[in-house]
Structure 1
Amino acid sequence: MDTPFEPLRFTHQKRHLHALIMEQQAWFCARDLGRLMGLFLENRLVRKLDPDQRCTLNLNYYDEAQEMLMVSESAAYALLVHHHHPANSQLRQWITHEVMPALFVARLHSHHNSPTPARLEWQDGELSVIHWQNEPWIRLRDMPSLLPGREALPAKTEKWSATTGR
């Protein structure tokens, strides 16, 4: 079983919100966000969100590994707007001004092991790279352009069956 994600736990009006940064995006526990909004945010309501706004993660939830439904930052704001209630304005401000900055500060101070996009200056230009495990990783198709006298491979290549003549 995969190691559960370790979220940060925030408290607002004596209720908790588990949140984390994954692939440079904030994710919130749907159950916790729903409690803060006074709603039951489980599959039915969350299914209306776009697929990139929801996911299920193995989360360390109150010191127990559980599969939890998570919503992205954009989904959290969409839910707050769609289920408008005067108290949600204060919740939105709390998420915007306290939770989000704390998540990004915690990310900067953590020693996470997720790939992050970066730019590498090389000879007369820049390359897109992924910084992972304290090293820059370069796309295979960009390698020929790094070697003298070689051109970059095209971004789209033929299907494998077309190159073998099948």
Structure 2
Amino acid sequence: MTDLTPFDFDGQAVRVVTIDGEPWFVLADLARVLDIAAPGRLAARLDEGVRQTHTLPTPGGPQNLAVVSEAGMYEVVIRSDKPDAVRFRRWITSDVLPAIRKTGAYGTPALNGPELLAHAVIEAHALIAANEAKILALTPRAEAFDAFLSTSGDLSVNEAAKILSRDNGILTGEKRLRAWMQANGWIYRNEADEPRAYQRRVDQGALAERARWHHHPETGERVIDTPQVRVTAKGVEALAKSLTKVVDRGELDVTGGDAA
């Protein structure tokens, strides 16, 4: 069973189709709201389990459109550099999903009197139990996305390399990525041979430096270590674009050899 529901986010349509009781989001709508270019290319990067095509009514007649599951929607959100991405995700989880799931069923026969009351009680208990289970399942995932998309959310170079390999087909690793970043004006090594971020990359919002600390093994005092270079969501996207162009031109093989 399918049912198309249009929602509005800041004046932009977000269509959600219910397929076998589960919400699927029109990918083109998500890409437009989140300022992500080339939704077709984005769809190709998503796993088959979280995307499919579905025939939906449009002003020009029925069309086969790419739709993504709830899990796929979260993957799309994390790819956006738009500041409103977190607010959009919270709107989905607090407004859209509850609105879709508030009845829990379609086509229920007309009831009245005691039967209607009994049915309402049963549905309410089932809905509460289902929502509690979904909240428990979604909370860690939602918190992880919020942390990544927040102003302080960033990744280690190793984590960035894994995302580039998984989502962009650039099969590089931490050592190769560090070497490329150092050769191309992203990071450098200071006199103490410690990796540091170029200030212009920090100003661009592509890199950040986070101070680390540890407790002195003898005194127990808190000791500040050398800041660690971190890659922001914007930086991952910029690296993906640059490395894709470099590999396509054949100027550098970041996928060959030891990708560790």
TM above 0.5, one fold?
Answer: yes
Larger Rg: 2
Residue 85 of structure 1 aligns to which amino acid in structure 2? K
In structure 2, give the amino acid aligned to 1:79.
V
C-alpha displacement of 1:78: 1.1
Bigger share in helix: 2
Of 72, 76, 82, the match for 1:75: 72
Preserved contact between residue 30 and residue 41 of structure 1 (Cα < 8 Å): no
Distance of 1:106 and 1:66 partners within structure 2: 28
CA distance in 2, matches of 1:95, 1:63: 27
Matches within 5 A, 1:49-88: 49-62=46-59, 64-88=61-85
Q: Residue 43 of structure 1 is aligned with which of 40, 43, 57? A: 40
Between the aligned partners of 1:58 and 1:105, the Cα distance in structure 2 is 25
Question: Do the aligned residues in 1 keep the contact of 2:35 with 2:82 (CA within 8 Å)?
Answer: no
Query: Contact 1:28–1:73 at 8 Å: present in 2 too?
Result: yes
Residue 34 of structure 1 corresponds to which residue in structure 2?
Answer: 31
Between the aligned residues of both structures, percent identity stands at 24
Instruction: Write out per-residue CA displacement over residues 69-123 of structure 1, whole angstroms, 9 at most, x where no aligned residue.
Output: 1111111111111324321111101111001111112552x229xxxxxxxxxxx
- Among candidates 79, 87, 92, match of residue 95 of structure 1: 92
Partners of 1:70 and 1:106 lie apart in 2 by 22
Counterpart selection for 1:111 from 98, 107, 114: 107
Structure with the larger strand share:
1
Moved over 3 A (4+): none
TM-score normalised by L of structure 1: 0.58
Inter-partner Cα distance in structure 2 for 1:77 and 1:18? 16
- Quote the Cα distance in structure 1 between the aligned partners of 2:21 and 2:63: 22
Residue of structure 2 equivalent to 1:18: 15
Query: 1:4-60: per-residue Cα shift (whole Å, max 9, x none)?
Result: x54100011110011022123210001111111012352211111110111100012
Contact residue 17 and residue 24 of structure 2 kept, 8 A: yes
Q: Which runs of 5+ in 1 are unaligned?
A: 113-166
**Secondary structure, aligned partner of 1:27:** strand
Query: In the comparison of the two structures, how many residue pairs are matched?
Result: 108
Q: Contact (CA 8 Å) 2:15, 2:26: kept in 1 or not?
A: yes
Using CA pairs under 8 Å that are at least 6 residues apart, name the structure with larger relative contact order, 1 or 2.
1
| TM-score normalised to structure 2 length | 0.38
C-alpha RMSD of the superposition: 2.3
Q: C-alpha distance in 2, partners of 1:45/1:32? A: 13
Give the corresponding residue for 2:4.
Answer: 7
Q: Which runs of 5+ in 2 are unaligned?
A: 109-260
